[in-house]
């Protein structure tokens, strides 16, 4: 098992008003994150900005920060930032499914630009969800179709897709609410470049036990978003992160604990720095 590493999803800063593709904002954010003790960051999957990403890529190298993954922007968040707003991998609408595949392919290209092996798929329906057994099964089939096509494209380019369990308020309830459901989808698709991730905020709502979800994923786990019960950084809410880190150590997880907090409100640097420091202190205590 490798050592845990610590990072921040840049969506945390974008939601606070920063433009992380802008050199001035990016330098301020990255210099602070390096000082806080971060090892890497998650750039945001906005393919429309690809031509503007050179400053961010250069600064990541300068500050010796890894790119953890390209964060997918799904559901209503895609509409907010204006990236492929008409995409929905659980929809039966051919256009929304096609847009989902095309978006994943573009995020794969971004992953190659940033020299990372991961991009990410979450859900977020643009339509009213049919939560009947038939509706859930139909949404699951649509997701499997999208992942089957996009994972082949990504695999040919050496990129894996992180698939995220999400709570009922953002994902599709009954399709990707729990680690068990996500693992089932991954196993049905059957390609080896689909990888489960975990977000403690979502898991705190839907899982019977966060340690149980971690152990269920086991050595397949590719990324952990460390976000507290109120979606602020660790230490600002009610989740027991000592228990989370102990479970990750027991599962022999050696990847990233990455903070994704939105909206974070004022004093983003203060909150992020305290969250990173809190995770470091727990890890030092437990390892």
Please spell the DSSP secondary structure of 68-109, one letter per residue: --BB---THHHHHHTSSSS--TT-S-HHHHHHHHHHHHHHHH
Tell me the pLDDT band of 253, cut-offs 50, 70 and 90.
very high
Mean pLDDT throughout 256-272? 94
Q: Do 195 and 118 meet the contact criterion of CB atoms below 8 Å apart? A: yes
User: What pLDDT does 239 receive?
Assistant: 98
Q: Are strands 118-121 and 160-163 parallel, antiparallel or unpaired?
A: parallel
User: Cβ(50)–Cβ(112) under 8 Å?
Assistant: no
Of 29-33, 160-164, 168-172, least confident by mean pLDDT is 168-172
Sequence ranges of the domains in the chain = 5-286
pLDDT at residue 90 is higher than 80: yes
**How many Cα atoms are found within 13 Å in the side-chain-facing hemisphere of 177?**
13
124/279: higher pLDDT:
279
CA distance 76 to 99: 14
Q: Tell me the two tokens of residue 35.
A: 């000082």
- CA distances to 152, 188, 198, 219 from 222, rounded to whole Å, are 18, 18, 8, 8
Identify the pLDDT of residue 1.
62
Of 61, 7, 71, nearest to 36 (Cα)?
A: 7
Phi, psi of 274 (to 5 degrees): -65, -40
Q: What is the pLDDT of residues 116-165, one digit of tens each?
A: 999 998 887 878 899 999 999 999 999 999 999 999 999 999 999 999 99
Fold of 5-286: TIM Barrel (3.20.20)
User: Which tens digits make up the pLDDT trace of 197-246?
Assistant: 999 999 999 999 999 999 999 999 999 999 999 999 999 999 999 999 99
Q: Tell me: the pLDDT tens digits for 59-70?
A: 999 999 999 999
């Amino acid at each position: 098992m490798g050592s845990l590493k610590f990072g921040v999803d840049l969506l945390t800063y974008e939601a606070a008003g920063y433009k992380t593709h802008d050199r001035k904002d990016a330098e301020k954010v990255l210099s602070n994150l390096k000082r806080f003790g971060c090892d890497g960051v998650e750039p945001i999957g906005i393919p429309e900005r690809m031509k503007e990403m050179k400053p961010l890529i250069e600064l990541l190298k300068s500050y010796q920060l890894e790119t953890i993954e390209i964060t997918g922007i799904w559901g209503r968040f895609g509409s907010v930032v204006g990236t492929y707003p008409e995409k929905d991998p659980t929809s039966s609408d051919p256009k929304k499914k096609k847009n989902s595949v095309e978006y994943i392919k573009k995020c794969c290209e971004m992953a190659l630009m940033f020299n990372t092996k991961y991009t990410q798929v979450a859900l977020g329906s643009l339509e009213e969800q049919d939560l009947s057994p038939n509706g859930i099964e139909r949404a699951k089939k649509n997701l499997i179709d999208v992942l089957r096509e996009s994972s082949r494209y990504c695999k040919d380019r050496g990129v894996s897709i992180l698939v995220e369990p999400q709570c009922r308020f953002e994902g599709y309830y009954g399709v990707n609410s729990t680690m068990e459901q996500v693992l089932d989808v991954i196993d049905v698709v059957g390609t080896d470049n689909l990888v489960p991730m975990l977000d403690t905020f979502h898991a705190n709502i839907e899982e019977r036990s966060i340690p149980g979800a971690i152990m269920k994923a086991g050595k397949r786990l590719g990324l952990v978003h460390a976000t507290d019960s109120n979606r602020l950084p660790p230490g600002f809410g009610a989740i027991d992160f000592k228990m989370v880190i102990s479970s990750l150590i027991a599962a022999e997880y050696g990847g990233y604990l990455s903070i994704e907090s939105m909206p974070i409100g004022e004093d983003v640097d203060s909150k992020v720095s305290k969250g990173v420091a809190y995770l470091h202190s727990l890890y030092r205590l437990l390892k």
